[in-house]
Homo-oligomer: A and B are copies of this chain.
Amino acid sequence: MDETQLPGRLVTLTDVARTAGVGESTVSRVLRNHGSYSKRAGERVAEAVARLGYVPNRLAGSLAGQGASARLVGVVIPSLANVVFPDLLRGLTSALDAEGIPCVIGVSDYDPDREEALVAALLSWRPAALLLTGLEHNPGTVALAQASGVRVVEMIDTDGAGIDAVVGFSNRAVGAASARHLITRGYRRIAYLGHDLRVDLRAGKRLAGFEHALGEAGLALSDKEIRPGPSSPAAGRAGLEALLTRVSDLDAVYFSNDDMALGGYFACLAAGLAVPGRLALFGFNGLDFAAAMPQPLSTVRTPRLEIGRQAAACLTSAGPKTIDLGFELIEGATA
C-alpha cells in the first residue's frame, strides 16, 4: 500500500479513477461488475484499488443507488442471554454472510417500547429488511415498519397475524403436544415451572396450549411456579425446590425451557429424587446439553437455526406469507 493520499483523508473512488487513469463511472462499473467494461479497464482499476487500499463507502453507495436502501438488514431480538436468539442469529448470518449482507442488531430486553425505539433507529439506516421477534408489537412499531415499505419478517411465533412474512412454529401447539405426551405417559399431577411470562409471551402461549390440552383430557395443572427474571438453570433449581416443598405428590413438571429443566434435574439429583420414577421432567427447545444428560431430557426441539435461514430466504421474496417449520418432540428419558 502506497499511502500517497492526503493524511486523514480516506481514499475515494475518485482517487482510484485518477490513479487508474479512467473515469469514475468506469471504476464504479468494475467494482460492482455491473455494466460492460474492457478487460484493460478492469485490470487498471483492480491495480489501483490494491495500490491505494481503497475501501468503498457504502453509505454513499447506498444513498446514491436505486431505492436508496442499504445492503444491511435490521434485526431486533428480545435478549442475547437465552441461547435461542443467538441461534436464530446464527441461522440468519450463515445465510446472509454468503451474500455479504451484515446484520445490524438491536436488543429490546423484552420491552415493546424499547423495541419500537430500536425499529425506528434501525430503519434510519434504510435496511433492506427488518427482522423482528414474535408477533406482539406496539402499534407504533407496526406503523413504522409498514410506512418504511421494507420487507418485514417476524420470527419464531406463528400463533397470530403478522405484519408481512412470518417464520416460526406454533408455540401453542408445542405446549399442547407436550401435555399430550405427559398424559400418554400416565402423569396426572403436573406442575408448570416457568420464568416471567409477562415478558416472554411465547412461553405464555406454550403454557396456554399446555393447559388447554390438559383441560381436554379432564385434567388441570396441580401447581404453577413463576420465577421472576429470565430463565436459567439456577431459577429452575430454586423453582423446583420451592414447588416440591409446596406440593408433595407431583409426578411431573413442565418447564418453560431446557435451561429451567436442567436446573430442575439438578434439584432432583441433589435431593435424590428418581427421574422419571418419582418425578418426570419435560423441557422445551432441545438444546445441546439435553441429549448429553445421563438420561436424555424429554423436550421439544425447535428449528431455531432453520428459522434464521428461512427468514433470510424470505428477504428475496415478496408478499405476505407464513412459514411454519414445526417442531420435534424428543421422547428422552426424563418423561
Contact = CB atoms under 8 A, between A and B. Distances in A.
5 contacts: A56-B124, A57-B63, A90-B107, A266-B289, A269-B269
A37 to B, nearest CB: 21
Contact of A232 (B68, B85, B144, B292): B292
A126 interface: yes
Contacts of A269: 269, 294
Nearest to A91: B80
Nearest to A76: B102
Interface string A93-110: 110010010111111000
Interface string A108-122: 000000000010111
A125 interface: yes
A42 interface: no
A123 interface: yes
Nearest to A70: B59
Given A1-B147, A124-B57, A105 B107 contact: no
Contact of A63 (B63, B103, B124, B233): B63
User: How many of these chains are in the complex?
Assistant: 2
A83 interface: yes
A87 interface: yes
Given A8-B149, A105-B103, A125 B58 contact: yes
A100 B80 contact: no
A267 to B, nearest CB: 8
A149 B10 contact: yes
B89 A80 contact: yes
A289 B263 contact: yes
A259 B233 CA distance: 14
Given A74-B102, A89-B105, A97-B107, 4 more contacts: A56-B124, A60-B63, A86-B86, A102-B118
Interface in A42-100: 53, 55-60, 62-63, 68, 70, 72, 74, 80-81, 83, 85-87, 89-90, 93-94, 97, 100
Nearest to A85: B86
A72 B125 contact: yes
A148 B104 CA distance: 20
Contact of A57 (B85, B100, B126): B126
B107 A104 contact: no
